[in-house]
Amino acid sequence: MNQIKPVIAALLLSVRTMAAPVQIQVDCAKPTVELSPYLYGLFFEDINYGADGGLYAELVQNRSFEYFNIEPRDHLREKTAGDMNPMYAWEIIERGGAKCHTTVSRWTPLNRTNENYLTIYIDKPGDGIGVANLGYDGIPIKQGETYDVSLYALLRDGDKDASLVVSLEGEDGTIYGSFQTGSLTPSWQKYSGTITASQSTDKARLTVVTKAAKTGKLLLDMVSLFPEKTFKGRRNGLRPDLAQALADLHPKFLRFPGGCIVHGYGLAQSYRWKDSVGDVAERRANHTTWGYHETLGLGYYEYFQFCEDIGAAPLPVLPVGVSCGFNFYECAAMDELDDWIQDAVDLIEFANGPADSKWGGLRARMGHPEPFGLKYICLGNEEHDTPQVRERFPLFVAALEKAHPEIKIIGTSGLSAKTPLYDFMKKLGVHSSDEHYYSDPEWFIKNQNRFDTMDRNGPRRFVGEYASNGNTLFNAIAEAAFLTGVERNGDLVEMTAYAPLLAHVDHIDWPKANMIYFNKQGLVKTPNYYVQQMFSCNKGDRYLGNRVVSANKMAPDIAVSATRDNSTKEIILKLVNYGGKDVDADIYLAGITHLDPQAEVSVLTGNPKAVNTLRNPDAIVPRKMAVKAGERFQYTIPAYSVQVIRVGTK
């Protein structure tokens, strides 16, 4: 309630007739540039447990015993790298005097890419022997909801009638639901079933137990538990609340699968898209740059599917045979580069090729015979300007242009806002080039005019990652001020995406700022999220020239964007006040008559230091209100605020 009061007060002030110290003049009759239809989108990376343990709805952690350590080679990784081992998140169960010992081995793997499996040697049968998976800090289940279970198992030298009981159990041993397999066989078999939870808890574990009456060897792999309720009901799907929060941003593109994780922590950890498609049991899991493991269960097919589900253009990012310049810089030898280049060419066949082509056929077998309509491909991420990059990058561009001239290539402008590789990208003639900036809010405020005088003859600009290093309202306001400059240059800037997108509150790799925070139970949208949503849902199609004239010649802390929506014919005003004083504005919509006096305003304002938290998620949220508009009208722009006013025209 306290948050609402200043807004209401400000809006009441908007009908005052006092002389306004600022005039905002909008030239509605002469639209300037056309805004890119792709201006606002998303950048998704498996960082902060964003995919496994986050968006990817799998509830079992380390389902195929593939976790492994890599030696920490820099300070960032030390905190987690040492923890990972094939039994991470698993516990052994021995009940009623039963005894066993276990190993994770690779002698008779499920397949060549999923090498590890668990062997449980049943040394002494009893009331039950098996394992429990603890999920991601406990498995959350809801009473009455159904969960899909699947696993691979075999039993050698043991009780021929033995089966497995798979249960959701509480910490105190309470059983919330079970499923029993048929009799086990001496070769790998997949067993599937469902469990409906009898109670809700956030701390369940999944137990897999046999009551085999004889000694023997039980092998297990790919133990999986999914809620039936996934986003759009997709199998192997996404956590609905997180996916819906992303969908609600109405993103026009999704850049995936990430930045640093694409490079990898050395070439062996690079993200190779072919590892991420096909049967989930055949995907090659990886230890990522961010110091933890990813199953690639959320892989390229699922990313393309998600893009389709939310109406976003897919923007896959491929490594260019060079690993992360910050950590462990390795470059593929020139005579091994063909393999990396072929990956890029084959990806286009996977996305768009006919169902009777090799890679298009795989897509069809996975359930999507129709092409995904890929239009863009991103090469590299924040590449360091090195001779190796300059030697390798052009070979990718040439091969793609030859094989698929219809695909637009997005290059990389390199590290920092200084875009050291932009000119190189211009020489290569790529369609657009990706630049990243993580800086303080003042940088974003100062750089509102960054694009105003930039070269229009080179690649278009893709602001593929940016954030003002914080999640206070003030950070969000600074980003909004910057975006008004982006809209003014919507002909040059083709796309923008805030980063990082998701962060599990207990597993944060990127402490400065993230767009959405979550835990097992829920999520919280930051003020930065709301700014993205306000801009994305109110972009408009043509920019309208405007200027801010200050009556007392003081520079007001105001940033403005004005656009026109072609389909609804509305004028859209975005007004950002990044200063601590309310500003009385006299708004003059010049060159247009027949305006609808009943306009609507969406306002985000409050204490500039306020943040939203899981406990208090609504400290800063936009509020919608009516405002009286006209060719000329007064509006008080509250201190520290972002607002969007939509004015209808007849």
Q: Which residues are at the interface with ligand AHR (CB under 6 A)?
A: 45, 47, 258-260, 381-382, 436, 465, 499-500, 510
Q: Would you put residue 328 in left (φ > 0), alpha (ψ -120 to 50) or beta?
A: beta
The single-letter DSSP state of residue 4 is H
Measure Cα distances from 141 to 130, 132, 444, 468, 521 in Å: 21, 16, 42, 36, 10
- Are residues 574 and 480 in contact, defined by beta-carbon separation less than 8 angstroms? yes
Beta-carbon neighbour count of residue 276 at 10 Å?
A: 23
In sequence order, which residues have a C-beta less than 8 Å from that of residue 40 and are 6 or more positions away?
249, 250, 251, 252, 495, 496, 497, 532, 535, 536, 539
Q: How far is the CB of 262 from ligand AHR (least distance, A)?
A: 8
Round to whole Å and give the CA distance between 134 and 131. 10
Q: How far is the CB of 486 from ligand AHR (least distance, A)?
A: 19
Beta-carbon neighbour count of residue 148 at 10 Å?
A: 18
Beta strands in 125-174 (DSSP E): 128-133, 139-141, 146-156, 164-169
**Residue of 181, 148, 146 lying closest to 163 (CA atoms):** 181
Q: Which is nearer to ligand AHR, 416 or 616 (CB)?
A: 416
Angle at the Cα of 372 from the Cα atoms of 366 and 378, rounded to 5 degrees: 110
- Are residues 495 and 253 in contact, defined by beta-carbon separation less than 8 angstroms? yes
Q: How far is the CB of 462 from ligand AHR (least distance, A)?
A: 13
Q: How far is the CB of 412 from ligand AHR (least distance, A)?
A: 10
Q: How far is the CB of 644 from ligand AHR (least distance, A)?
A: 27
Round to whole Å and give the CA distance between 166 and 280. 20
Q: How far is the CB of 249 from ligand AHR (least distance, A)?
A: 17
**Residue of 467, 77, 502 lying closest to 290 (CA atoms):** 77
Q: Which is nearer to ligand AHR, 86 or 264 (CB)?
A: 264
Q: List the structure tokens of 201.
A: 């808890």
Q: Which is nearer to ligand AHR, 258 or 638 (CB)?
A: 258
H-only helix segments in 537-590 = none
Q: How far is the CB of 263 from ligand AHR (least distance, A)?
A: 8
Q: Which is nearer to ligand AHR, 181 or 526 (CB)?
A: 526
Query: Cβ-closest residue to ligand AHR?
Result: 259
**Residue of 465, 506, 366, 471 lying closest to 54 (CA atoms):** 506
Q: How far is the CB of 265 from ligand AHR (least distance, A)?
A: 12
Write down the catalytic residue from 66, 382, 383, 494: 382
Round to whole Å and give the CA distance between 137 and 306. 26
- Are residues 433 and 454 in contact, defined by beta-carbon separation less than 8 angstroms? no
Q: Which is nearer to ligand AHR, 47 or 51 (CB)?
A: 47
Q: Which is nearer to ligand AHR, 35 or 497 (CB)?
A: 497
For helices 337-352 and 300-310, what crossing angle results, to 10°?
40
Beta strands in 228-262 (DSSP E): 253-256
**Is residue 500 classed as helix, strand or coil in its secondary structure?**
coil
Round to whole Å and give the CA distance between 49 and 291. 10
For residue 631, give the amino acid letter.
Answer: E
The single-letter DSSP state of residue 36 is P
Q: How far is the CB of 214 from ligand AHR (least distance, A)?
A: 51
Round to whole Å and give the CA distance between 516 and 502. 5
Q: How far is the CB of 85 from ligand AHR (least distance, A)?
A: 25
Round to whole Å and give the CA distance between 424 and 413. 8
Q: Would you put residue 367 in left (φ > 0), alpha (ψ -120 to 50) or beta?
A: left
Q: 382 catalytic, yes or no? A: yes
The count of C-alpha atoms lying within 13 angstroms of the C-alpha of 598, restricted to the half-sphere facing its C-beta, is 0
Q: Which is nearer to ligand AHR, 299 or 500 (CB)?
A: 500
Q: List the structure tokens of 38.
A: 């792709």
Q: How far is the CB of 414 from ligand AHR (least distance, A)?
A: 11
Q: Which is nearer to ligand AHR, 129 or 421 (CB)?
A: 421
Q: List the structure tokens of 612.
A: 């939203």
Greatest alpha-carbon span in the chain: 92
Enumerate the active-site residues: 382
